[in-house]
Amino acid sequence: MINFDQVTISYPEAAGPALADVDLHVPEGELCLVVGRTGSGKSTLLRAVNGLVPHFTGGTLHGRVTVAGRDTADHPPRELADVVGMVGQDPASGFVTDVVEDELAYTMESLGLPPDTMRRRVEETLDLLGLADLRHRALSTLSGGQRQRVALGSVLTAHPSVLVLDEPTSALDPPAAEEVLAALQRLVHDLGITVLLAEHRLERVVQYADRMVHVPGDAAPLQDGSPQTLLATTPVAPPVVELGRLAGWDPLPLSIRDARRQAGDLRVRLAELPPNGTPHRTPGEQLAVTCELAVTYGPVVALKGVDLDLREGEVIALMGRNGAGKSTLLRALTGLNRPDAGAARVVGSDPATLRPKELVRKVGFVPQEPADLLYADTVAAECAAADRDADAPEGSCRALLERLVPGSDPAAHPRDLSEGQRLGLVLAIVLTARPPVLLLDEPTRGLDYPAKRRLVTILRELAADGHGIILATHDVELAAAAASRTVVVADGEIVVDGPTSEVVVGSPAFAPQVAKILAPQRWLTVEQVADALAVTP
């Protein structure tokens, strides 16, 4: 269905080609997973499928890309719209209309389908993706998960034979992600759609994949094969695979179910060992506190009666479904949202009244759109500005960046960085001021596993230094690895507040993979298990 023959893609002003000599053949009805480190060229590969590369982005493509027999060289993206459905990383930026139902119909209108066909397909898609209740809603009022499902639906209505998805679950909470993936699997199984999917959160998708393509980056040749064989060696691997590698399981398990069936021995070995939790220092002085905090947006109540305190050395994972009020809570702690009732205090003062210069020394915030914090033309200039803003010694921001995303080009424009590299840069900038309170909104969106591990190490070190950190995240693995405390927010209220090891193990939605595999024992991360096994061989 999708054929790449000796494809080399290069952009002007780039040192080397983005992809070199790619040969890839995806047969009909296969779900093919594209993995690779941040910035390795996954997006370029995906966008070449419907001709956006090079028709839209520029650059040169040598070789041939054919989809359903059509060559992208003489078929621009619009002529492939009936064959390829493409959903980008940020679904909201691709919305053309402003109501859910109209958005679903847009592609069909462009293709000139007859009205009653459109009518029926819209109804089918509304049901397939669980959007029926939202049909008249304005798109601007939807939450992230709802938007992602609308974006998926808007290309599905054209009944494409190929679906290309760039990180479809990266912005979704675990249940919403499962819902989207379940819908995808149904499409593959029932309609025979070919899916090409790039995703960093392998733990969510790898079990659904028939085939895996690893893009190693630096124009090295693609590795292509079944998930089992590839994952045995790739640097990116979900916790279930890492645990399998650690325990030497063969065949390598991809799903919780497979792993549990092989985990009997491991559970016996681990039963005698105490699950020593990640060492967290005992919380010290209170750094940030909210008291009966309530925030509203017009008629919508985002937060009500929230009491939360953050102490020195604590890492709090703030979890909850899309639109539960996590971001609002963080924004209230930075003074970006003023409380309608109650109060928020950071290091003894009201963040909304602080001058920017004082604010930045008390609280650091990485927003969901990390690019908002970037202004300069080059990474180097951005780092220098961060050092100045924070009165930090010269080069401290660069050093942090090097640890978080090694090998990033200091002369590159921040907007040309990949999602993950950009987030790394913003993290480095915010951490340069070493504020006592650090707030991160979805920090692992677009980060690969190695970058995530480095982030966890840095967060632990900062916590050990006495910083208080709150992470709003959907990433249960991150919460398990980094957080000492987990707070679950639902509908603007705090539902659960307790030590991570207790909160996440008890909840099927928020439990990390290792906890699910080794339940009822309380292990959270592969690292814990490895440490325990290393002590007693």
Partner 1 sequence: MTRLATDRLVPRNVHPGAWWLWAIGLATVASRTRNPLLLLLVLAVAGYVVSARRSHAPWARAFIVFLKLGLIVIAIRTLAQVLLGTPLPGTVLVTLPEVPLPDWMAGVRLGGEITAPSVMAALTEGLRLATVLACIGAANALANPKRLLASLPAALYEIGVAVVVALSFAPSLLTSVHRIRGARRLRGRPDRGVRGMVSVAMPVLEDALERSLSLAAAMDSRGYGRRANLTAATRRATAVLTLGGLIGICLGTYGLLDGTGPPALGLPVLLVGVAAAGVGLAFAGRRTVRSRYRPDPWRLPEWVTTLSGVAAAAASIATGILMPGDLAPQLLPLTELPLPLLATVGLLLALLPAWVTPPPPDGMAAAPLSSPRATRTDVANSEPPADTTTSPSQERADRDAATPSTAATGPPVPRESRR
- Per CB under 8 A, contacts with partner 1 among 377-416 are 386, 389-390, 415
In whole angstroms, how close is the CB of 526 to partner 1 at the nearest point?
A: 30
Tell me how far apart the alpha carbons of residues 531 and 42 are, in angstroms, rounded to a whole number. 34
Q: Where in 407-466 is the site for partner 1 (CB under 8 A)?
A: 415, 429-430, 433
Assess 219 for contact with partner 1 (CB under 8 A).
no
Range 58-92 burial, b when 16+ CB lie within 10 A, else e: ebebebebbbbebebeebebeebbbbbbbbbbbbe
In whole angstroms, how close is the CB of 89 to partner 1 at the nearest point?
A: 9
Q: Where in 149-208 is the site for partner 1 (CB under 8 A)?
A: 154-155, 158-159, 175-176, 179, 186, 190-191
Q: Interhelix angle for 264-271 vs 239-247, to 10°?
A: 80
Q: Where in 41-70 is the site for partner 1 (CB under 8 A)?
A: 50, 52, 55-56
Please count the residues of the chain. 537
Q: Which residues pair with 441 in a beta bridge?
A: 472
Residue choice 5, 28, 71, 133 for contact with partner 1 (CB under 8 A): 133
Residue count, binding to partner 1 (CB under 8 A):
103
For residues 230 and 295, which CB has a smaller minimum distance to partner 1 in the complex? Answer: 295
In whole angstroms, how close is the CB of 86 to partner 1 at the nearest point?
A: 4
Tell me how far apart the alpha carbons of residues 44 and 406 are, in angstroms, rounded to a whole number. 21
Q: Which stretch binds partner 1 (CB under 8 A): 230-238, 293-301, 449-457, 514-522?
A: 293-301
In whole angstroms, how close is the CB of 329 to partner 1 at the nearest point?
A: 15
**∠ CA(50), CA(419), CA(164), 5° rounding?**
25
Residue choice 23, 28, 292, 369 for contact with partner 1 (CB under 8 A): 369
In whole angstroms, how close is the CB of 503 to partner 1 at the nearest point?
A: 20
In whole angstroms, how close is the CB of 111 to partner 1 at the nearest point?
A: 5
Query: How deeply is 275 buried, as exposed, middle or buried, from its count of CB atoms within 10 A (0-12, 13-18, 19+)?
Result: middle
Contacts 24+ apart (CB under 8 A), 514-523: 514/239, 514/240, 514/243, 514/480, 515/480, 516/256, 516/260, 517/240, 517/243, 517/256, 517/259, 517/260, 517/263, 518/263, 518/266, 518/267, 518/270, 521/267, 521/270, 521/271, 521/275, 522/275, 523/270, 523/275
Q: Which stretch binds partner 1 (CB under 8 A): 64-72, 197-205, 370-378, 472-480?
A: 370-378
Structural element, H or E, at residue 496:
strand 493-499
Q: Which stretch binds partner 1 (CB under 8 A): 34-42, 91-99, 286-294, 310-318?
A: 91-99
In whole angstroms, how close is the CB of 445 to partner 1 at the nearest point?
A: 16
For residues 76 and 277, which CB has a smaller minimum distance to partner 1 in the complex? Answer: 76
Q: Which stretch binds partner 1 (CB under 8 A): 79-87, 278-286, 399-407, 498-506?
A: 79-87
Tell me how far apart the alpha carbons of residues 537 and 535 are, in angstroms, rounded to a whole number. 6
Q: Where in 224-243 is the site for partner 1 (CB under 8 A)?
A: none
In whole angstroms, how close is the CB of 450 to partner 1 at the nearest point?
A: 27
Residue choice 21, 79, 402, 416 for contact with partner 1 (CB under 8 A): 79
Range 504-529 burial, b when 16+ CB lie within 10 A, else e: bbeeeebbbbbbbbbbebbbbbbbbb
Tell me how far apart the alpha carbons of residues 526 and 515 are, in angstroms, rounded to a whole number. 10
For residues 29 and 76, which CB has a smaller minimum distance to partner 1 in the complex? Answer: 76
* 198 contacts 205 by C-beta, under 8 angstroms: no
Q: Which residues pair with 26 in a beta bridge?
A: 2
Q: Where in 305-364 is the site for partner 1 (CB under 8 A)?
A: 321-324, 331, 334-336, 356-357, 359-361, 364
In whole angstroms, how close is the CB of 432 to partner 1 at the nearest point?
A: 10
Q: Where in 489-518 is the site for partner 1 (CB under 8 A)?
A: 491
Assess 113 for contact with partner 1 (CB under 8 A).
yes
